Amino acid sequence: MLILQAERDALLKPLLAVTGIVERRHTLPILSNVLIEKKGAEVGFLATDLEIQITTASTDALPGEDFRLTTSAKKLQDILRAIPDKATVTLEQQDGRLTLKAGKSRFNLQTLPAEDFPLLPVNGTSDAAFSLSQRELKRLIAQVQYAMAVQDIRYYLNGLLMQTEGNQVRLISTDGHRLAFSSAEVEANLPKAEVILPRKTVLELYKLLADSDDPINIEVLANQVRFSFGTTVIISKVVDGKFPDYNRVIPLDNDKIFLIERVTFLHALQRAAILANEKFRGVRLVLKPGAMSILCTNSEQEEAEEELEIGYSGGGLEIGFNINYLLDVLTNLPADTLQLAFGDGSRSALFTIPDNSDFKYIVMPMRI
């Protein structure tokens, strides 16, 4: 039975929005599938891994019968990608199979019953609700997401802390070696609340956000967070754990302070990193009045040295860092100028944007 006829992109674009969370191997085979549901002229796509659920819909009004089915997300995505642009795709369903036709191509896919597809239950009333532009949220996430831990045994670090209080929303991430903080004002008077968003949720959300002024609505529910924007809804469980108190690690008395051009510093570090030790990735910064030297060496006794002129008149300092931790913040921050504040060789460094309290980056030194 013919259930749908549409241009390729009307199906592929919403499908791509949800398939990023689909795992290849699952104990539940149906979780490798995408739920496709047509109601009236709207075709919706839903995927879940039981921790996060993404729903979106085609923005094109599509004629055809109402239906619900599930089929392999990966196979359907690969087939649609391989079909030429602007091609007309026909879907037919019969005897537990989905037949897809485009031009002289024909594909038969297995389906599983839609009623067996597990949906995340939406938990009651919200603890906090607010909205901001997609561009603003994308900027906030970009400024901190690189500092999330990856598969750390301290599972609460494998994500992002989101705090609300008054008219402030704050995002904080740390892997125990560095910490990134960003905040923004919203038009709301929010209760004091905090949740830890899983790493996968953060990365998928960032990928789907547009660089536009269109709003995204965020609701903090019991053990869940809901993000709604355009035709897309993301529901995510939150990480159960206690995030460390980030205020305790912000160094307040670093006295070796200067401004530096972000891009100049970034390019100098990128050049020096070519000869950094591949295992330890160490870089030494040597501070003296008017200049900062950047030094990298490796196990073959090779050495790179860069010197940058800076407006600094304080005392000398030599301090080591993991060069990747410096490259991460310089790559992901859009500011032209940064303020660096150092203490001594054993104290964390503080990176901020001049005259801006909405961003902080703290990085611990390493012994080289």
Task: Assess whether the region 2-116 and the region 128-248 belong to the same CATH fold.
Answer: yes
Task: Say which CATH class 2-116 falls into.
Answer: alpha beta
Model pLDDT for residues 332-352, shown as the tens digit of each residue: 998 999 999 999 999 999 999
CA distance 363 to 282: 13
CA distance 54 to 48: 6
Q: Is the pLDDT of residue 25 over 90?
A: no
For the chain, the helix, strand and coil percentages under 3-state DSSP, each to the nearest 5: 20, 45, 35
Model pLDDT for residues 272-297, shown as the tens digit of each residue: 999 999 999 999 999 999 999 999 99
Model pLDDT for residues 154-166, shown as the tens digit of each residue: 999 999 999 999 9
Report yes or no: 122 and 224 within 8 Å, Cβ to Cβ. yes
CA distance 229 to 197: 18
For residue 357, the SS3 value is: strand
216: confidence class by pLDDT, cuts 50, 70, 90 = very high
Burial-class residue 45 by CB neighbours within 10 Å (0-12, 13-18, 19+): buried
H-type helices in the chain, by residue range?
Answer: 8-19, 73-82, 134-142, 199-208, 262-273, 323-332
Q: Is the pLDDT of residue 357 over 80?
A: yes
CA distance 297 to 303: 4
Would you give the end-to-end CA distance of the chain in angstroms? 69
Backbone angles phi, psi at 172, to 5 degrees: -135, 135
Q: Is the pLDDT of residue 222 over 90?
A: no
CA distance 196 to 215: 22
Kindly state which CATH superfamily the domain 256-363 is placed in: DNA Polymerase III, subunit A, domain 2 (3.10.150.10)
CA distance 327 to 146: 10
Residue 321 identity (one-letter amino acid): F
Average of per-residue pLDDT values in the chain? 95
Where do the domains of the chain lie?
A: 2-116, 128-248, 256-363
pLDDT at position 61 is 77
pLDDT at position 297 is 96
Model pLDDT for residues 37-81, shown as the tens digit of each residue: 999 889 999 999 999 999 999 888 777 788 999 999 999 999 999
pLDDT at position 284 is 98
DSSP 302: -
Fold of the CATH domain 128-248: DNA Polymerase III; Chain A, domain 2 (3.10.150)
Q: Which tokens belong to 204? A: 């998928």
